[in-house]
């Protein structure tokens, strides 16, 4: 059928023109029976777009192929690198294996040496232990012997010390008795010394207070003896020059017979010199006069 010819033909009722070839087609026809094109616009669009999509897909596929090639190249590179690393690792492993083998050998050698040494040490220790045990036995024997001897000595010393303690107790008792005796004698001597000192004061100084103190002390042979010594002295000796004239407190010298009884009494009671008071008392002996009674 010639299309150009159909263009001139006017569509009949229930017909319309094809959107593509402009020929009259059934109004309800979906596809032109002439150009075989679908009268629905979206279907055509889809058909058109399908080509475009296919083109895009082809592009994407191409891109992906390119990417895959690139990735493949990278993978190849990485594989090469990995193989290099693997080779290197193998070398390292080999070295490590060699080193470990050497170390094991060395360790075996050291262990062997150590084992030998420890064996030697154990032997030496055993010998030492044996010697020590023998020494200990000897020492124990010596100690036992020494203990026995010591026990004998201790017993002997104990006996001796008991004897000495007994003697010491006796001596201590003697010393205590002696101490009591000495202490008693010392008390007697101290008391006698005190009495003698009092008597010495009474004699040498004419100290009446010492004499009174001696007289007030409890009576004993010692006191009586000192008393007698004092009295004997005063009965035998005269310390007041009776023939000399009296020198009064004002340094005036007066003949004995010129002194009045009043002067004698006054000087007896108040003169500060004991020799003058004594001489006044002596002179009063001869003043037995009636007038003396008034005094």
Partner 1 sequence: MPEALIDSIKNDASLDVLRYSIDAFSALTGYKSDDIFDYSPNLQLIKWWTENKSRVEKDWKQ
Q: Please say whether the beta carbons of 11 and 17 come within 8 A.
A: yes
223 Cβ neighbours under 8 A, 6+ residues apart:
195, 214, 217
**Which of 23, 39, 226, 279 touches partner 1 (CB under 8 A)?**
279
Residue 11 in contact with partner 1, rule: CB under 8 A: no
Token pair belonging to 189: 């001597």
> What distance in Å separates the CA atoms of residue 70 and residue 64, rounded to the nearest whole number?
9
Residue 56 in contact with partner 1, rule: CB under 8 A: no
Residue 272 in contact with partner 1, rule: CB under 8 A: no
What is the phi/psi pair of residue 254, to 5°? -125, 135
Shortest separation between residue 194's beta carbon and partner 1, angstroms = 19
Token pair belonging to 125: 């220790």
Residue 277 in contact with partner 1, rule: CB under 8 A: yes
Please list every residue from 150 through 209 that binds partner 1, using CB under 8 A.
202, 206-209
**Which of 25, 211, 226, 259 touches partner 1 (CB under 8 A)?**
211
> What distance in Å separates the CA atoms of residue 240 and residue 242, rounded to the nearest whole number?
6
> What distance in Å separates the CA atoms of residue 239 and residue 12, rounded to the nearest whole number?
209
Q: Closest CB to partner 1 among 14 and 243?
A: 243
**Which of 32, 199, 230, 259 touches partner 1 (CB under 8 A)?**
230
Cα dihedral sign, 58-64-67-72: negative
Shortest separation between residue 284's beta carbon and partner 1, angstroms = 4
Q: Closest CB to partner 1 among 18 and 211?
A: 211
Q: Please say whether the beta carbons of 26 and 34 come within 8 A.
A: no
Residue 225 in contact with partner 1, rule: CB under 8 A: no
Shortest separation between residue 217's beta carbon and partner 1, angstroms = 13
> What distance in Å separates the CA atoms of residue 226 and residue 215, rounded to the nearest whole number?
10
Residue 278 in contact with partner 1, rule: CB under 8 A: yes
71 Cβ neighbours under 8 A, 6+ residues apart:
none
Q: Closest CB to partner 1 among 254 and 268?
A: 268
Closest CA to 259 of 294, 240, 286, 238: 286
Shortest separation between residue 249's beta carbon and partner 1, angstroms = 15
Partners of 246 in the β-ladder = 254
Residue 33 in contact with partner 1, rule: CB under 8 A: no
Shortest separation between residue 165's beta carbon and partner 1, angstroms = 57
Residue 231 in contact with partner 1, rule: CB under 8 A: yes
Residues of the shown chain interacting with partner 1 in the complex, contacts defined by CB under 8 A: 202, 206-209, 211, 215, 230-231, 234-235, 239-240, 261, 265, 268-269, 274-275, 277-279, 281-282, 284-285, 287-288, 290, 292-293, 295
């Amino acid at each position: 059928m010639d299309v150009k010819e159909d263009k001139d033909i006017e569509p009949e009722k229930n017909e319309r023109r094809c959107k593509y070839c402009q020929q009259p087609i059934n109004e309800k026809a979906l596809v032109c029976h002439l150009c075989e094109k679908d009268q629905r616009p979206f279907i055509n669009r889809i058909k058109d777009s399908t080509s475009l999509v296919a083109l895009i897909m082809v592009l994407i596929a191409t891109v992906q192929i390119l990417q895959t090639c690139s990735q493949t190249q990278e993978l190849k590179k990485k594989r090469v690198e990995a193989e290099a690393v693997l080779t290197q690792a193998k070398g390292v492993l080999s070295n490590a294996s060699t080193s470990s083998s050497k170390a094991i050998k060395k360790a075996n050698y050291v262990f062997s040496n150590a084992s030998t040494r420890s064996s030697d040490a154990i032997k030496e220790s055993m010998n030492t232990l044996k010697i020590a045990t023998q020494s200990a036995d000897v020492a124990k024997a010596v100690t036992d012997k020494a203990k026995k001897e010591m026990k004998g000595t201790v017993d002997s010393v104990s006996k001796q010390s008991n004897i000495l303690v007994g003697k010491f107790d006796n001596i201590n008792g003697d010393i205590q008795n002696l101490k009591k005796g000495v202490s008693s004698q010392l008390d007697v001597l101290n008391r006698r010394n005190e009495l003698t000192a009092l008597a010495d004061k009474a004699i040498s100084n004419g100290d009446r207070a010492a004499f009174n103190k001696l007289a007030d002390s409890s009576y004993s042979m010692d006191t009586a003896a000192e008393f007698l010594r004092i009295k004997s002295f005063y009965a035998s000796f005269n310390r007041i020059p009776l023939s000399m004239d009296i020198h009064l407190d004002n340094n005036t010298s007066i003949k004995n017979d010129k002194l009045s009884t009043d002067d004698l009494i006054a000087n007896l009671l108040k003169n500060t010199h004991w020799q003058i008071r004594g001489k006044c008392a002596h002179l009063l002996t001869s003043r037995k006069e009636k007038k003396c009674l008034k005094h």
